[in-house]
C-alpha cells in the first residue's frame, strides 16, 4: 500500500474557506460528500499517513481517485449544498437511511375546493396539511372517526363530491352521516372551510378553547332544558377527551418540539423521532442508519437533522429541536432551520426535567430498535445463509462454519478473571451450550485465553475417545439432543476470539498444542471491526453492510455480554459471602445493603452512621459491618 495518495492536492492548493468536497472513484462516481468550515484543515485529515487513518476511512480514500471542492460564502450555504449533493449523488460512503416502514399520516387536502381528511402514506400531495406519522393505520382511522364527530368535514372521494355537487343530491357518506362537506348539502363551501380551519387548529395543538366552548354550550343547553342539544355537546366533548387521552401530555401545553433519541454502534444507528405538538406526542418515526465511515455522535446528529428537515415545509419545523448532543455546526444548523421555518428555532440538548426524561424514553426505544434490527438480520434464514457463505469466502474456509464458538475474557482490574464461550449453530445462538470459565491464576488476557481454550479443546478429545455421536448441526432450527446438559463434545468449524493479533496468536498456540489445527480461527477487534487471521500481517476487512460482519458482531457482543454477566454474578456472590461473615447479618439485610448503596465500593466508603439509616440495622451492627469491610 502506498504511503500517500497520488491524487493528493499540492500544499496551498486547498483554500481555507468554508465549502463542500467530493471524493470520486476512477469512473467518476461520487463516493463521499462532506462539508467543512475550513476546507484545508478538514481535507488534510484524509491525507494523513495511511497507517494512521481509521480502517474505513482508509478504504474510502484508497478507493477514490480524485477529490474536488466548491467554496461557498457561509457555513449555512455549505449545509445546503452538502444536503443537495447527497440527495443527488447518493454517495455509498455517506450514511444510508432506511425507514423501518412507510408510516400512515392523516392529511387534509387544503388545495381542494372543499378539503377532505384522508389516511395516506404519500407525503407529496400538493397543498396538503399532514399530521403524524402514526405507528398503526387503525390509529389514524380511529382518530378521524372521533374528530369528525366534533368537526364534521368532508371524507368522501373526489368523484363522489363532484357527482353530488353536480346533481344536488348528497353523497352516500353524507346520507349516512359520515361526510360533513358541502356535498352533504348541510353547509356551504365557506362554512365548511371554517370547520376545516378549526379541525387543523385543534390537531396542531390540541386547542383547549374548543373544549371550553363546547362545555359552555352544553351548560347553556342544559339550563334551557334543551337536553337533546346538551347530549350532542356532551358526545363531542367525549370525542375530544378521547383524542387528547390518546397522546398524554408529556411537556408544557404550549411546547412544540421535535425530539431525537439515537442509539448507535460501529456499523449502524437507530433514530426515534418524537413529534411533540401542544405538549403531546403527535407522531413517532423510527429510522435505521447504516454507517459506512466511522462518524462521531455529533456528526450523526448533524446528518439526521439535515435529512429530517431538508425537504420539510415551514409548518413541519417546530420551535425547539431536542437532540442528545449538539453538533459542531449547531449555530449554522439553527440558522438554516430558522431560514426554512421563517421564525426562530432553537437547537438544544435535553439536560434536565421532563425533556430529559422524554429523551431517555426515546433513547431507550432507539436502543431496543437497534437490538431488534441486528437480531432480525442474524435471525432471517436467507440472511443467515448469506452470512455463513460470505464468512466462508472471506476467511478462505473449505466449508461454511455451521458451528461457531466465540470466546471473551473479562476481569475487574486484573482480578476476578472469567471467560465466556457462546455457541452459534447455523447462525443462531445455542444458549443451552453456552459455558463460562473461571481463571484462577493468569498473567494477562492472552494467557487467560490460552488456558480457557486448552480446557475447552480437551472435551473434544474425550468425546472422540468415547465415540459420542454428534448432532446434525446442518438442520434448520433447534438442534435437539437427548442429553439434558450436553457436554462440549462437538467440534466447531470456526473459533472466534474477541481481540486482535495478540489474542489470535494465543488461541492459535492453544489449537496447535491441543493438536486441533484443523479448526479455523479468527479474531474480531472492536475498535475497527477488523477480522484477524493467524499469522497474517493485515486484517480481513468485511464490507460494512455485509451479513457476515453483522454475524461476527453479534457473536462478539453476545460473548462479551455473557462474560460480564457471569463476572458480576461471581462478584456479587463473593461480596455476599464476605458480608455473611458479619454476625447478625442475614441474606435479607445483605441484599438490602447492596440495593441501598448500589455497589460494594459505596458501602465500603460509607460511615457507620450512614449504614444505620437502613431500616433494621442498629449502631452496633453498622460498626461491625464497617470494621469488617475495612479489615478486608
Place of cell 500500500: 1
Residue 600's pLDDT is what? 61
Among the listed residues 6, 57, 54, the one whose alpha carbon sits nearest the alpha carbon of residue 32: 57
pLDDT surpassing 50 at residue 481: no
Q: Which residues contact 109 (CB under 8 A, 6 or more apart)?
A: 115, 116, 118, 125, 127, 128
Confidence of residue 21 (pLDDT cuts 50, 70, 90): very high
Answer whether residue 577 shows pLDDT above 60. no
pLDDT at 476 over 60: no
| The pLDDT of residue 1 | 43
Domain ranges for the chain, please list them.
19-94, 105-205, 257-375, 380-564, 580-631
The pLDDT of residue 112: 87
Provide the pLDDT for residue 164. Answer: 87
Cα 394 to the chain's mean position, in Å?
28
CATH class label, 380-564 = alpha beta
Q: Over the stretch 110-154, which tens digit does the pLDDT of each residue have?
A: 888 888 888 888 777 888 888 766 666 666 776 777 777 777 888
Q: Is the pLDDT of residue 511 over 70?
A: yes
**484: pLDDT strictly greater than 50:** no
Each residue's pLDDT tens digit, 351-377? 888 888 888 888 888 887 887 777 666
- The Cα–Cα gap between 36 and 49 comes to 21
Q: Which long-range contacts (CB under 8 A, 24 or more apart) does 595-602 make?
A: 600/571, 600/575
Q: What is the rounded average pLDDT of the residues 85-103?
A: 72
In the prediction, which pLDDT does 211 show? 67
**pTM of the prediction?**
0.51
Give me the mean pLDDT over the 617-630 stretch.
78
The pLDDT assigned to 485 comes to 43
Q: 19-94 in CATH: which number?
A: 3.40.1440.10
Grid coordinates 348539502 are at which residue? Answer: 185
Domain at 580-631, CATH from 3.30.930.10, 3.40.50.510, 3.40.50.2000, 1.10.150.20: 1.10.150.20
Per-residue pLDDT averaged across 389-411, rounded?
A: 86
**Per-residue pLDDT at 365:** 82
Say what the pLDDT of residue 329 is. Answer: 83
Answer whether 19-94 and 580-631 agree in fold. Answer: no
Q: Report pLDDT for 260.
A: 92
Backbone angles phi, psi at 172, to 5 degrees: -60, -45
Q: Return the CATH class of domain 257-375.
A: alpha beta
Residue % of the chain over a pLDDT of 70? 79
Give 513-540 pLDDT, tens digit per residue: 888 888 899 988 865 678 888 888 888 8
Spatial contact of 71 and 15, defined as CB atoms under 8 Å apart: yes
| Nearest-angstrom CA–CA distance, 97 and 628 | 56
Task: Find the DSSP H helices in 206-313.
Answer: 208-223, 227-246, 297-309
Amino acid at each position: 500500500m502506498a504511503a500517500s495518495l497520488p491524487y493528493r492536492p499540492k500544499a496551498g492548493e486547498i483554500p481555507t474557506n468554508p465549502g463542500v468536497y467530493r471524493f470520486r472513484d476512477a469512473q467518476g462516481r461520487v463516493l463521499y460528500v462532506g462539508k467543512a468550515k475550513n476546507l484545508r484543515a478538514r481535507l488534510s485529515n484524509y491525507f494523513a499517513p495511511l497507517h494512521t487513518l481509521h480502517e474505513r476511512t482508509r478504504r474510502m480514500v484508497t478507493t477514490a481517485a480524485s477529490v474536488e471542492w466548491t467554496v461557498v460564502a457561509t457555513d449555512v450555504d455549505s449545509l445546503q449544498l452538502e444536503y443537495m449533493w447527497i440527495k443527488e449523488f447518493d454517495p455509498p460512503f455517506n450514511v444510508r437511511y432506511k425507514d423501518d416502514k412507510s408510516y400512515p399520516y392523516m392529511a387534509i387536502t387544503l388545495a381542494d375546493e372543499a378539503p377532505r381528511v384522508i389516511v395516506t402514506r404519500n407525503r407529496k400531495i400538493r397543498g396538503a396539511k399532514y399530521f403524524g406519522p402514526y405507528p398503526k393505520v387503525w390509529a389514524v382511522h380511529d382518530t378521524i372517526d372521533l374528530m369528525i364527530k366534533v368537526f364534521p368535514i368532508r371524507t368522501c372521494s373526489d368523484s363522489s363530491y363532484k357527482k353530488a355537487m353536480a346533481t344536488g343530491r348528497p353523497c352516500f357518506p353524507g346520507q349516512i352521516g359520515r361526510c360533513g362537506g358541502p356535498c352533504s348539502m348541510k353547509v356551504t363551501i365557506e362554512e365548511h372551510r371554517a370547520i376545516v380551519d378549526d379541525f387543523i387548529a385543534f390537531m396542531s395543538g390540541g386547542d383547549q378553547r374548543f373544549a371550553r366552548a363546547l362545555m359552555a354550550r352544553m351548560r347553556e343547553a342544559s339550563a334551557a332544558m334543551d337536553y337533546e342539544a346538551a347530549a350532542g355537546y356532551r358526545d363531542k366533548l367525549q370525542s375530544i377527551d378521547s383524542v387528547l387521552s390518546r397522546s398524554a401530555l408529556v411537556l408544557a401545553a404550549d411546547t412544540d418540539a421535535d425530539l431525537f433519541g439515537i442509539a448507535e454502534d460501529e456499523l449502524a444507528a437507530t433514530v426515534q423521532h418524537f413529534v411533540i405538538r401542544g405538549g403531546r406526542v403527535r407522531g413517532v418515526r423510527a429510522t435505521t442508519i447504516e454507517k459506512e465511515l466511522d462518524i462521531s455522535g455529533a456528526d450523526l446528529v448533524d446528518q439526521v437533522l439535515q435529512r429530517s428537515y431538508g425537504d420539510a415545509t415551514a409548518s413541519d419545523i417546530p420551535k425547539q429541536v431536542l437532540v442528545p448532543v449538539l453538533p459542531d455546526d449547531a449555530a449554522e444548523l439553527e440558522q438554516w432551520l430558522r431560514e426554512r421555518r421563517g421564525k426562530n428555532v432553537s437547537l438544544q440538548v435535553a439536560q434536565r426535567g421532563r425533556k430529559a426524561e422524554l429523551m431517555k424514553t426515546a433513547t431507550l426505544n432507539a436502543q431496543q430498535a437497534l437490538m431488534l434490527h441486528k437480531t432480525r438480520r442474524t435471525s432471517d434464514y436467507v440472511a443467515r445463509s448469506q452470512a455463513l457463505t460470505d464468512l466462508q469466502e472471506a476467511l478462505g474456509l473449505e466449508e461454511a462454519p455451521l458451528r461457531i464458538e466465540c470466546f471473551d475474557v473479562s476481569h475487574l482490574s486484573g482480578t476476578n478473571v472469567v471467560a465466556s464461550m457462546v455457541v452459534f449453530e447455523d447462525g443462531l445462538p445455542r444458549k443451552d451450550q453456552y459455558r463460562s470459565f473461571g481463571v484462577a491464576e493468569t498473567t494477562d488476557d492472552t494467557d487467560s485465553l490460552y488456558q480457557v481454550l486448552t480446557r475447552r479443546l480437551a472435551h473434544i478429545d474425550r468425546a472422540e475417545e468415547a465415540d459420542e455421536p454428534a448432532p446434525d448441526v446442518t438442520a434448520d432450527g433447534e438442534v435437539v439432543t437427548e442429553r439434558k446438559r450436553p457436554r462440549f463434545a462437538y467440534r466447531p468449524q470456526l473459533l472466534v476470539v474477541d481481540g486482535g493479533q495478540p489474542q489470535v496468536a494465543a488461541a492459535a498456540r492453544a489449537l496447535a498444542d491441543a493438536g486441533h489445527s484443523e479448526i479455523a480461527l479468527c479474531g474480531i477487534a472492536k475498535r475497527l471491526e477488523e477480522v484477524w487471521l493467524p499469522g497474517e500481517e493485515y486484517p480481513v476487512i468485511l464490507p460494512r453492510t455485509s451479513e457476515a460482519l453483522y454475524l461476527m458482531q453479534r457473536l462478539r457482543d453476545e460473548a462479551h455480554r455473557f462474560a460480564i454477566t457471569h463476572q458480576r454474578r461471581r462478584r456479587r456472590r463473593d461480596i455476599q459471602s464476605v458480608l455473611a461473615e458479619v454476625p447478625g447479618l442475614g441474606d435479607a439485610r445483605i441484599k438490602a445493603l447492596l440495593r441501598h448503596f448500589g455497589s460494594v465500593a459505596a458501602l465500603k466508603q460509607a460511615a457507620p452512621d450512614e449504614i444505620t439509616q437502613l431500616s433494621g440495622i442498629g449502631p452496633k451492627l453498622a460498626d461491625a459491618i464497617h470494621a469488617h469491610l475495612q479489615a478486608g
